[in-house]
Structure 1
Amino acid sequence: MIKPVHLAASALLLSAPALAQLADPHAGHTMPGAATTPAPPMDHAAMPGMDHSKMDMPAPAASSDSAMPAMDHSKMNHGGMAMTPALKGMTRSNVGPAEAALQSFSDALEVGNSDLAIARLAPGLKVVEDGVEESRAEYIGGHLAADMAYQKSVKTVLLERSVINESPVQARIVSKLRMVSNRSDKMIDSLVEETAVLTKLPDGWKIVLLKWDSAK
């Protein structure tokens, strides 16, 4: 749309001799040996309505980084997906039989294998959770099912662990665990201190004490 306006405005400013020259069929052709003079630039200010200095053009947007605040991904709803933070835990190697028995119990809770979990519990087991104590029978008949359901909904990461061999047949294992939700409809991120005492019985190492407390 701009080009026709330029031509029309230019035509109004041309003199009669110039118009006659435009009618020459040879106009625009370069003749051998003839000097060529570049056409002067078009003076837009002299054209009606074409003074660019008086046009109201919007200023370009500022390119400074401060013009756009940083994107806070923690407040975004990514299609209902839970934004699980990167979890870094410790890796245990060369674990002893007592620690292996405790880990077997924890794995049984995560996969929901109640028979395997119960097989790791000593007859005289005591379970203490946030100050509430239960016997082996009370735990199996009550909180065991809830613990399995909870373990399925979280990812458990071992942060710290101390193994104290109190005797050849007894060990105390103190662990600091981080539990983070692995489901989009639940937000869980908690620290738990777990204390387990295991004793060696004729059929293997069994848990005689399980104590869970909220950690900071």
Structure 2
Amino acid sequence: MSRIYTWVCCFVALMPGWAAAQPAVGAATPIEAVQRFHEALKSSDPETAILQLAPDLVVFETGFAEAHPRAYADNNLALDLAFAVVTDRRIVEQVERVEDKIAWVLTRSELTSKPGTDPIALRQTETMILRQYADGWKIAHIHWSAHPFERD
């Protein structure tokens, strides 16, 4: 009996911390899903990044297309994680539009290298189309485009 009591006490004691560490699967708003995705990239957390993606995700980037979350995870996610770690992202403009269970978030940002890394200065446009599921908003399409700019 004392062994069961010990296990129950450990479970109850650890449960709040574990539950707090687990992100909700779907986001409450489209902007929240986009923010979670970028925060996951910045913190090198591929699992949380993937949780923000719809099962029929399509990613367009520099003329290439990834037509499934698994294809994106297998081919480009590691590069996007590594890039996010060495750059700072400053949002210049962000617009959200929601119509029923479909939304889009359009973002213009500046990506610059962190000190001590190779120089990077890019202006990026990002289009994310999201779909609302029973558990929240998920990203169904990502389109990234960027070009260099001169830093001050």
TM range (shorter): 0.7 to 0.9
In the other structure, the counterpart of 2:52 is 120
- C-alpha separation between the residues in 2 aligned to 1:138 and 1:207? 15
- The Cα of 1:214 is off from its aligned counterpart by 1.7
Report matched runs for 1:1-216 at 5 Å. Answer: 97-136=29-68, 137-165=70-98, 167-215=99-147
- C-alpha separation between the residues in 1 aligned to 2:103 and 2:83? 26
Listed as ranges, the gaps of 5+ residues in structure 2 are: 1-27
The structure richer in helix per residue is 2
Q: How many residues align?
A: 120
The one-letter amino acid paired with 2:73 is I
Describe the superposition over 1:134-159 as per-residue Cα deviations: whole angstroms up to 9, x where unpaired: 12221111100110000000000000
The one-letter amino acid paired with 2:50 is I
- The Cα of 1:195 is off from its aligned counterpart by 0.2
In the other structure, the counterpart of 1:47 is none
The one-letter amino acid paired with 1:144 is L
Describe the superposition over 1:11-64 as per-residue Cα deviations: whole angstroms up to 9, x where unpaired: xxxxxxxxxxxxxxxxxxxxxxxxxxxxxxxxxxxxxxxxxxxxxxxxxxxxxx
The one-letter amino acid paired with 2:140 is V
Structure showing greater relative contact order (alpha-carbon pairs closer than 8 Å, 6 or more residues apart): 2
The structure richer in strand per residue is 2
In the other structure, the counterpart of 2:11 is none
- The Cα of 1:183 is off from its aligned counterpart by 3.1
Counting aligned pairs with the same residue, the percent is: 28
Q: Which runs of 4+ in 1 moved over 3 A?
A: none
- C-alpha separation between the residues in 2 aligned to 1:163 and 1:130? 23
Paired residues of 1:160 and 1:175 also in contact (CA < 8 A): yes
- C-alpha separation between the residues in 2 aligned to 1:120 and 1:131? 23
- The Cα of 1:184 is off from its aligned counterpart by 1.6
Structure number with bigger Rg = 1
- The Cα of 1:185 is off from its aligned counterpart by 3.4
- C-alpha separation between the residues in 1 aligned to 2:129 and 2:55? 13
Paired residues of 2:93 and 2:109 also in contact (CA < 8 A): yes
Q: State the TM-score, normalized to the length of structure 1.
A: 0.53
Question: Over the residues paired in the alignment, what is the CA RMSD in angstroms?
Answer: 1.3
